[in-house]
Copies of this chain bind each other. A is one copy, B any other.
């Protein structure tokens, strides 16, 4: 399940578009809603002007029409709440939240309605809602368009949260999210959207709650999330040259967490470094560190390390932004510090 034999290479964004198209064909209840997901809404002669701010929905309106590929006004609480209401009444909506930084405009609908209805109603309702959103720094968009922030959503019971790391997992996780009867937030790193990778043409799922080992190793476990998985792989390659055999886990699902995969790895390697672009407090990084400090305590040979962004907003200036984002060198240095 950790690899694909596909040879066709497409981008992460194209893989997601394929997932959407296949699921919309498969199930007429699947609809997409968001700002400029088609573009030029209602303007005669100008269909699909944008196809989504990141092109993720390009071409879908031609096939599925404006009822199912539905541009919205700038009203995040309104249209995401409407997606929640549609999901509660039998549709299977995908809502596009352009940037995760805008979560504060619609969090009430997500946390108080989408995440809680099934529980509050004693299990007598379903909430097959998917929210796609974009995370991460590195493109010069500064403090209000560069957050990672998935830790905040992972904190909330009732939500599932995933963060694909490449085109293959992007398609598989998005299909799983759409088919899931609980609300799922899909966090796409903006710097992954254009990256190519092998993707099968047919529909397939990547199970929500399942991490994968991208590189086996015996000396230290590196857990990466989203873009940081690549940083871990780079660091592992550099470490290999210095004789350190790192195992790289690509987390993929933040909630539920694949604690088995993490614990199994750490019990073998006895060392853990979590690499997380989110800010450090009450984060995925602390979450995984705490898990291991409890359940793999007897196996640990060194302090559990976290490499994260600093506890600050994202700065604009390129030199600062680059310093903000965790990189392979920091991982290498940290690993060396605990290899003792």
Contacts and interface: CB of A to CB of B under 8 A. Distances in A.
A105 interface: yes
A151 B158 contact: no
Nearest to A112: B144
Max chain B Cβ within 10 angstroms of own Cβ: one of A105, A106, A281, A286? A281
Contact of A313 (B120, B283, B289, B295): B120
- Copy tally for this chain in the complex stands at 2
Contacts of A311: 157
B116 A108 contact: no
Interface residues of A, number: 59
A137 interface: no
Interface stretch (A59-67, A207-215, A226-234, A301-309): A301-309
A117 to B, nearest CB: 9
Interface string A259-296: 00000000000000000001101111111011111110
Nearest to A303: B297
A239 interface: no
A156 interface: yes
B306 A290 contact: yes
Contacts of A257: 281
A246 to B, nearest CB: 18
Contacts of A283: 155, 282, 287
A277 to B, nearest CB: 13
B282 A151 contact: yes
Interface string A99-128: 001111111111110011001100000000
Nearest to A298: B303
A135 B141 CA distance: 34
A287 B281 contact: yes
Enumerate the 10 nearest inter-chain pairs by beta-carbon distance, A residue then B residue, closest first.
Answer: A104-B108, A104-B107, A293-B293, A289-B290, A286-B290, A297-B303, A293-B304, A151-B282, A286-B286, A155-B282
Interface of A: 101-112, 115-116, 119-120, 142-144, 149, 151-152, 154-158, 255, 257, 278-279, 281-287, 289-295, 297-298, 300, 302-306, 310-313, 315-316
29 contacts: A101-B112, A102-B108, A103-B108, A104-B108, A104-B111, A104-B112, A112-B143, A112-B144, A116-B143, A119-B143, A151-B155, A152-B152, A152-B156, A155-B278, A155-B279, A155-B281, A157-B279, A157-B311, A157-B312, A158-B313, A282-B282, A286-B286, A289-B289, A289-B290, A289-B294, A293-B300, A297-B300, A297-B303, A298-B303
